[in-house]
């Protein structure tokens, strides 16, 4: 059964940082292993995946219900913005009217 460990190898063995290969363990300490690369082994890089797009969550695939909820939220945000715009215009008109009455006195 294969296991994967981080093993210290001498830099003269080649550019092996982040790669997977078979080694012969030559020494070990309490928290480290030292080895040498076996001559007949394959050196491979683990498959790297493309980064996720901005805002994507790993392992989350939105279903149609989630997309519908997102659309409903966008719609409610539009109405909320419109409501604030109408309220702002009403307050602006009222303040302008009060200013006109104050100046007229």
Determine what percent of the chain is predicted with pLDDT higher than 70.
Answer: 82
- Per residue in 10-24, pLDDT (tens digit) is 888 888 877 888 889
Could you tell me the pLDDT band of residue 1, with boundaries at 50, 70 and 90? Answer: low
Tell me if the pTM is above 0.75: no
Rounded to whole angstroms, the Cα distance separating 96 from 54 reads 45
Query: pLDDT at position 68, please?
Result: 64
Does the pLDDT of residue 103 top 80, yes or no? yes
């Amino acid at each position: 059964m294969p296991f994967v460990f981080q093993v210290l190898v001498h830099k003269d063995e080649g550019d092996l940082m982040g790669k997977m290969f078979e080694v012969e363990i030559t020494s070990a300490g309490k928290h480290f292993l030292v080895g040498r690369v076996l001559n007949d082994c394959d050196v491979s890089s683990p498959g790297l995946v493309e980064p996720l797009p901005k805002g994507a969550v790993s392992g989350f695939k939105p279903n149609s219900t989630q997309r519908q909820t997102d659309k409903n939220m966008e719609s409610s945000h539009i109405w909320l913005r419109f409501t604030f715009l109408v309220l702002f215009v009403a307050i602006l008109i009222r303040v302008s009217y009060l200013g006109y009455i104050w100046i007229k006195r």
